[in-house]
Chain A
Amino acid sequence: MPDELSREELLEMYCQMVLIRRLEEKAAELYTAGLIGGFLHLYIGEEAIAVGACKALRPDDHLLTAYRDHGWAIARGLDPKRVMAELLGKATGVSGGKGGSMHLASAEHNYWGGHAIVGGHLPLATGIGLAIRYKEEDKAVLCVFGEGSTNIGYFHESLNLAAVWKLPVVFLVENNQYGMGTEVSRASARSDIFEKGCSYDVASAPVDGQDVLAVHRAMREALEYARQHGPYLMEAKTYRYSGHSMGDPERYRSKAEIERWRAHDPIERLASVLISHALADQAALEKIHQDVEQEMEGIVRFAQESPEPDDAALYEHVYVNPIPER
């Protein structure tokens, strides 16, 4: 059996990756139809990272991500219906319609967002790591961000402090080669991002981000390392098939380049593993796609039929303890 995962687990991971991709494609449609506002950053092409990494997380571990977060939310176990409802700004959305696509969260899943200030959540993850050590808990934090976020001060401040205090944080870089339209080598003095760990004596390694099993294996070890010793920097090499966000004119890359990456598609790669190990046949996989298709209908229906937040929501949660101004 590949990677000590059962057949059921592997099929479940396959199913999640397909669901994430379909949800993204559907979101793009709804965005174009004007039902989703603001920014929309799709995760298509990068699904293996969220699914592989979340499989390695324990329920009581913590997760923080950047704004390219739909896949992460689903992989972490949030209800896809409520994820889609959030994209549509509905009251039933995971953030009550007040966060939108970039700000998904679920306290119940220890998923503390969805953050859209580049690099801004790395210090938060560091602080959650501090709380774990403070309370002497056996937990870890997974903090996810793009390679473009490794040139900002927060990355360096956070890795340094996490290393000084030996905090149980795995910093996971999704190196999808571009920060918006800027290719990694045009913005970062080192293109192999994992090498940056050595500045702070932080253990680090690259992983093939298009291989869900490799990500899972590496993440399991990284989390264990973090719990025992301290911070870990992992770089998942990956690629986003879609633009940075909806409406990206994509002047910075060629169609041929996208096709080269598509040849290593993470979903197809898992499919061939499943087939070559005789864990599923074409028909079984086909069935998964059909089931996801049906589930998607329910997801979209739920989101569309859900109510808008009521007017009172506007003033809710500005403070935990609001003090009336007299």
Chain B
Amino acid sequence: MAYITMREAISQALREEMYRDERVFIMGEEVGVWGGTYAVTRGFLDEFGEKRVRDTPIAEGVIVGAAIGAAIAGLRPVAELMTINFAFLAMDQIVNHAAKLHYMFNGQIRCPLVIRTVGGGGRQLAATHSQSPDVVFAHFPGLKVVAPGTPADAKGLLKSAIRDEDPVFFIEHATLYQLRGEVPDDEEYLVPIGVSDVKREGKDVTIVSYSKMLQTSLQAAEQLSKEGIEAEVIDLRTLRPLDMLPVVQSVQKTNRLVVVEEGWRSYGVGAEIAARVMERAFDYLDAPVRRVAQLEVPLPYNRRLEQMALPQVEDVVRAVYDVLYRK
């Protein structure tokens, strides 16, 4: 175990996998000489050379498309998209190609590739650079969508993603890179994709979340605990495929559910979880499900306005009061 940042954990996962498997390589904008826009691949160019750490032109379509091609031909590309906002320029490659080829050609084509990207708001980068459109990518069968909320999960999930035979869209949160946590040094430390995790046990209310909002939810749970409310906090970790079992089991115990996500509420994670809980545990609910999410506006630059639009610890606390019928 080592107490390291999320950035170091991700970097460690990449480095270990590159040593383990010659076929693994990194490509993207500023991954090499610059060392990664978020410094995740700092030092990699010296360590692995230009063949395996490839700076690309600013051309998201061909970054993802060429990574798919390399994967078809037997390599294990890790393509980096500088931020998730730019993934929209590669949307066609992601959803029309990566997600479809295996199925459409009846299993003849495989795309074992990882697309790493950075999402999330809260850094005053304004509307085009602050989005959390994770659910957009989770909409498509054929993709696996992963968004870790702790350093250990980031390492274990990224390693699993690189070893996976399917295309994995891996979303890191821009404001979590400095988050510290215990991370196993073990080179075989793998966290399975598609398994939700109970991050905090409690009996009074279930809070479901992931990525940055996991941390927000855990803080809310701490605060609630001081008032005698014990929240169970579940980390989805993977948005597709979605593992509902721990959520359903928790709701059967607590009878109350709050879902917290950073993206917009409409058509979001909360909507999906609420629908599935209704299908599987309707009779266990003692209160309507509450959703905490971003207000329905493009994020503004102004710090105060931006924070108003993003879900805060107090919003989670208030939602928990609501489902407990407390004032």
Tell me the B265-322 residues at the A interface (CB within 8 Å).
none
State in angstroms the CA–CA spacing of A127 and B108 once bound together.
17
Question: Given A117-B96, A134-B51, is A325 in contact with B242 using a C-beta cutoff of 8 Å?
Answer: yes
A325 vs B240: C-alpha distance in the bound complex, in angstroms?
Answer: 9
- Would you give the 0/1 interface string for A138-167, flagging 1 where the beta carbon is closer than 8 Å to chain B? 000000000000000110011011001100
Q: Are B103 and A154 in contact (CB under 8 A)?
A: no
User: Interface with A: B32-40, B70-78, B252-260, which one?
Assistant: B70-78
Main secondary structure of the interface of A (DSSP, over half): mixed
A125: interface (CB < 8 Å): yes
Is B65's CB under 8 angstroms from A95's CB? no
Judge whether A318 and B142 touch: CB under 8 Å: yes
Inter-subunit contact B75/A131 (CB<8 Å): yes
CB-based contact B61/A105 at 8 Å: no
Q: Roughly how many angstroms separate A137 CA and B75 CA in the complex, as a whole number? A: 13
* The residue from B59, B77, B164, B244 contacting A161, defined by CB atoms under 8 A apart: B59
Asked if A71 lies at the interface with its beta carbon under 8 angstroms from chain B, I say no
Is the pair B102, A124 in contact by a Cβ cutoff of 8 Å? no
Question: Judging by beta carbons under 8 Å apart, are A128 and B70 in contact?
Answer: yes
Number of residue pairs spanning A and B whose beta carbons lie under 8 angstroms apart: 156
How far is the CB of A21 from the nearest CB of chain B, in Å?
Answer: 26
If A317-B103, A318-B103 touch, does A107 touch B65 (CB 8 Å cutoff)? no
Q: Which B-chain residue is minimally distant from A143 (CB atoms)?
A: B69
What is the distance, in angstroms, from B198's C-beta to the closest C-beta of chain A?
14
In angstroms, Cα B224 to Cα A33, docked, is 69
Contact, CB under 8 Å: B106 / A320: no
Cβ of A316 within 8 Å of any chain B Cβ, yes or no, is: yes
Q: Are B66 and A130 in contact (CB under 8 A)?
A: yes
Chain A CB within 8 A of B172 CB: no
Inter-subunit contact A99/B65 (CB<8 Å): no
Is A129 in the interface zone, CB < 8 Å from B? yes
CA distance in complex: A95, B110 (Å): 14
State the CA gap A318–B144 with chains docked (Å): 11
Whether, in the assembled complex, B188 has its beta carbon less than 8 Å from a beta carbon of chain A, the answer is no
Cβ distance B86 to chain A, nearest Cβ, rounded Å: 13
B165 at the interface (CB under 8 A from A): yes
**Is A127 a contact partner of B66 (Cβ separation < 8 A)?**
yes
What's the Cα separation between A319 and B98 when bound, in Å? 11
B→A interface (CB under 8 Å): 25, 51, 54, 56-57, 59, 61-62, 64-75, 77, 92-93, 96-97, 101-110, 112, 141-142, 144, 164-166, 192-194, 241-245
Known contacts A124-B69, A321-B164; 5 additional CB pairs below 8 A are A95-B108, A120-B65, A128-B70, A158-B62, A326-B243
